[in-house]
Amino acid sequence: NVLNNQSNFVWWAAHNSGNGNAGNKVAGTTYTGNTNPQTLSLVNGRDGSTPPNADYINGFNEFRDVEDVDISLLLGAEANQTIATHLIQNIAENRKDCIVCLSPRRADVVNNNGYDGSEVDDILAWRDLLPSSSYAVLDSGYKLIYDKYNDINRYVPLNGDVAGSIVRTDLVRDPWYSPAGHNRGQIKNVLKLPFNPSSKAARDLLYKKGVNPVVSFPGQGTVLFGDKTMLAKPSAFDRINVRRLFIILEKAIGEASKFTLFEFNDAWTRAQFKNMVEPFLRDIKGRRGIYDFKVVVDETNNTPAVIARSEFVGDIYIKPARAINYIQLNFVAVSTGVDFTTVVGSV
């Protein structure tokens, strides 16, 4: 009775030796228990029909309410356009406290036998089908892994690895550090990439459209080589680390500000709020998350009209730290005997 006593999904009962119409209703049927030990192999099973988009959407909607479920990352897996758009617009953009990680379509990168460079064009076409958002991240493809449970090699999307790089960054640094690059963006358990954007030209085309290349460098491993969000317009929030910095700030300060509710909107309460927020921001500044900040919570933004509406206003100005995406190195040949200080600044 191990199955019957411990499993929430399987129930074993005595049954007829022959199976009739499996579509007949069995409601009200009484099954007798099987008292003899049995050793059976579950073989020749099937997963059933492919779930429709509505089933996936209903499942993801379990994460929709920010008050019920606390999450930081959502994995799109092999989400199609309908599901990916729902994740971006109806969950991540609605919650505003998490990031959804997405990958291109499998056919865009796995066994894409089109013309030279068709993978890049297909990935960019996929990107154009999705909305702009600073709460979404798109990588460049799939990886081949060894599936030890089925003893086969299989392709899986890289969005789980991108989410893993973000989590690893949280563990070894802080959320406002970039999860990309050779220090924190190493992708593990990779047999090969079906599409490896190893050329700078391919990477530049992808990166300009907000697609973060995942690249296998000879002797250096496979690396997440971009840290952009899917925000189309130039902004501080088109970088993963900046978006995650503000998610952390808004969530932490929002939770702390709950203790201001139902207090008097006077100088004492405003000073208490400021003294609560500023040490938190100073700590993040000391840990290289922001360059500078300013907290304004006084009579200038808490006017008599605001107080009369039973509201409380706190304005927090942040200068976020930016991760280096481009490095320019200038090498200058200087004549022997010339002092370096005489040429610095004139180049």
pLDDT of residue 285: 95
Q: Give the rounded distance of the alpha carbon of 237 from its chain centre.
A: 14
Query: Are 149 and 231 in contact, with CB atoms under 8 Å apart?
Result: no
Using CA atoms, how far apart are residues 238 and 211, in angstroms rounded to an integer? Answer: 11
Using CA atoms, how far apart are residues 224 and 212, in angstroms rounded to an integer? Answer: 7
pLDDT tens readout for residues 99-120:
999 999 999 999 998 778 899 9
pLDDT of residue 289: 94
What CATH number should be reported for the domain whose range is 53-238?
A: 3.40.50.11780
Average of per-residue pLDDT across 190-206? 96
Instruction: Inform me whether the pLDDT recorded for 343 exceeds 60.
Output: no
Q: With pLDDT > 70 as the criterion, what percentage of the chain qualifies? A: 86
pLDDT of residue 6: 84
Q: Kindly give the pairing relationship between strand 211-212 and strand 290-296.
A: unpaired
Instruction: Inform me whether the pLDDT recorded for 318 exceeds 80.
Output: yes
pLDDT of residue 269: 94
Which one is predicted more confidently, 301 or 337? 301
pLDDT of residue 335: 59
- The pTM for the full model equals 0.81
Residue ranges covered by each domain of the chain: 53-238, 261-347
Average of per-residue pLDDT across 334-340? 56
Residue with tokens 């617009």: 89
Using CA atoms, how far apart are residues 59 and 78, in angstroms rounded to an integer? Answer: 14
Instruction: Inform me whether the pLDDT recorded for 341 exceeds 60.
Output: no
Query: Are 140 and 158 in contact, with CB atoms under 8 Å apart?
Result: yes
Which one is predicted more confidently, 345 or 308? 308
Q: Kindly give the pairing relationship between strand 211-212 and strand 152-157.
A: unpaired
pLDDT tens readout for residues 3-60:
778 888 887 776 655 555 555 666 666 666 666 677 777 777 776 678 899 999 999 9
